[in-house]
Amino acid sequence: MTRHFATINGKPVTGGPSFAVVNPATGGEAGRAPNMGAAELDAAVAAAQAAFPEWSTRSDEALQAACAAVTAKIEEHAEELARLVTLEQGKPLNGLGSRWEIGGAIAWAGYTTGLSLPIKVLQDNEQGRVELHRKPLGVVGSITPWNFPLMIAIWHILPALRTGNTVVIKPSPHTPLSTLRLVEIINAVLPPGVVNVVTGDDKAFNIGAAMSAHPDIRKIVFTGSCATGQKIMQSAAPTMKRLTLEMGGNDAGIVLPDVDPEKIAEGLFWGAFINNGQTCAAMKRLYVHESVHDAVCDALAAFARKIEVGDGMDEKSILGPIQNRMQFDKVLSLVADAKKRGRVLLGGEPGEGLFFPPTIITGLSNGDALVDEEQFGPALPVICYRDVEEAIAMANDSSNGLGGSVWSSDVEAARKLAGKMQCGSVWINKHGAIQPNAPFGGVKASGLGVEFAEEGLQEYTDVQVIFA
């Protein structure tokens, strides 16, 4: 099987122990990744620290040109990276799968390249001139999850580079291969040490935990579960690291009585089932008014029946397997519990290996585990409601607050309700449609800070005010 190499200080790190990465579609080996420890992490951080003085003092134009070169490199290797993502992550090449993910990575990289944080003049009069400068932090540690390994890597790396920081990235042990290759590819256009990658299986040594406590890392940008985000916050405290934490969600969608069920079925389906539901801002609970409940359920199930599930390498597949055994078991147990309480409209029975068909279960309510917990898989609970205020209250009855959506023919009425939802993003007649020019982040337990746009870029800098 192909062994993939880490890149530290611009050089491939060969030798040393490795671990197997599973192809979730077949159960076979997708490749092997280095199983690194404290020494390799220290070497990567030292390389990033050594690269920082030159990189951080480059002109804004030079940083922008370097980011454009990074974007071009990803574009050049798009198909290779897409295949690697499908191999290790399971999502199909087609549909909203790996080619779409790499397309997103390129779009984000390009947009971030074009952003800048110019000096802001706060005052300029006879009393004096006051300027706000944005300064790079130093070494940024990036810790990524397994659901969108390549796109999230770009969400972390590009803003760090654009603002003059250097990077050590650590992908999930479930999906390290595409990040290893990405870092190798972009090192061709970067000075040694500007972007380094370390990988490990999280067994004997947890690299992410060590990064969170590392004295020479100035910021952690993390995407992953709430439990891990909380641990990072604790271990980052003694070194006062800057943190951007994008964590779990349990997004609610609220369907108002005035919808046309046929018209919204496709949007509802992809809002919930994109990447098999393994998406932070997927719709994970659907509240439907009683007057349209049955019609919406029928239209949604009819659309879902047309979706081809299979090995992502097959060009016909539109959804792949669940990414890993732990997640599969979680979905299986939540569906088993929901089946006792509600009515299965579609799916409900596991397929071969890690395959699980799109599953829709109605007749559930808040208090049922499939509604209250983040399933992070292809199983959507539908809750029937009578009163819109009651639906809002149920939607807000969650410790999470990542995204939410309102579905209605009356956009103005939907916008009013959107303001009552306790979450970082609210979509109207769609769900989860993030874009690089709009800040994205969670409220409540879903996170800290935002990514994307100017607001996201600012999080990779310290403010310095100069009074003259």
Using CB under 6 A as the criterion, which residues of the chain lie in contact with ligand NAD when the complex forms? 143-147, 170, 172-173, 202, 206, 208-209, 212, 223-225, 228, 231-232, 246-249, 280, 374, 376, 402, 442, 447
Closest C-alpha among 4, 83, 6 to residue 40: 6
Nearer to ligand NAD, 231 or 341 (CB): 231
Closest C-alpha among 432, 86, 95 to residue 284: 432
- Least Å distance, CB 16 to ligand NAD, is 18
| CB distance 140 to 218 below 8 Å | yes
Nearer to ligand NAD, 265 or 280 (CB): 280
Q: How many residues does the chain have?
A: 468
- Least Å distance, CB 255 to ligand NAD, is 23
- Class of residue 197 by CB neighbours under 10 A (exposed 0-12, middle 13-18, buried 19+): buried
Nearer to ligand NAD, 193 or 377 (CB): 377
- Least Å distance, CB 289 to ligand NAD, is 27
Nearer to ligand NAD, 92 or 456 (CB): 456
- Least Å distance, CB 368 to ligand NAD, is 19
Judged by DSSP in three states, 364 sits in coil
C-alpha torsion 371→374→377→382, nearest 10: 20
Exposure string of 99-127, with b = 16+ CB inside 10 Å and e = fewer, is bbbbebbbebbbbbbebebeeeeeeeeee
Q: How many CB atoms lie within 10 A of CB 297?
A: 22
CA–CA dist 86, 295 (Å, integer)? 35
Nearer to ligand NAD, 259 or 322 (CB): 322
**Does the annotation count 67 as an active-site position?**
no
Nearer to ligand NAD, 94 or 212 (CB): 212
Nearer to ligand NAD, 140 or 402 (CB): 402
- Least Å distance, CB 392 to ligand NAD, is 22
The structure tokens 């390249």 sit at: 113
Task: Find the distance separating the first CA and the last CA of the chain, reported in whole Å.
Answer: 62
- Class of residue 417 by CB neighbours under 10 A (exposed 0-12, middle 13-18, buried 19+): buried
The pair of three-digit structure tokens given for residue 330, joined into one six-digit string: 């979680």
CA–CA dist 464, 460 (Å, integer)? 13
Q: Which residue number places its CB atom closest to ligand NAD?
A: 208
In which element (H, E) is residue 334 found?
A: helix 325-341
Q: Alpha helix (H) ranges present in 132-189?
A: 149-162, 177-187
Nearer to ligand NAD, 265 or 434 (CB): 434
* Active-site option among 246, 374, 451, 459: 246
* Active-site option among 40, 184, 226, 280: 280
Closest C-alpha among 392, 405, 407, 403 to residue 440: 403
- Least Å distance, CB 93 to ligand NAD, is 20
**Does the annotation count 384 as an active-site position?**
no
- Least Å distance, CB 19 to ligand NAD, is 12
- Least Å distance, CB 386 to ligand NAD, is 30
Which positions are annotated as active-site residues? 246, 280
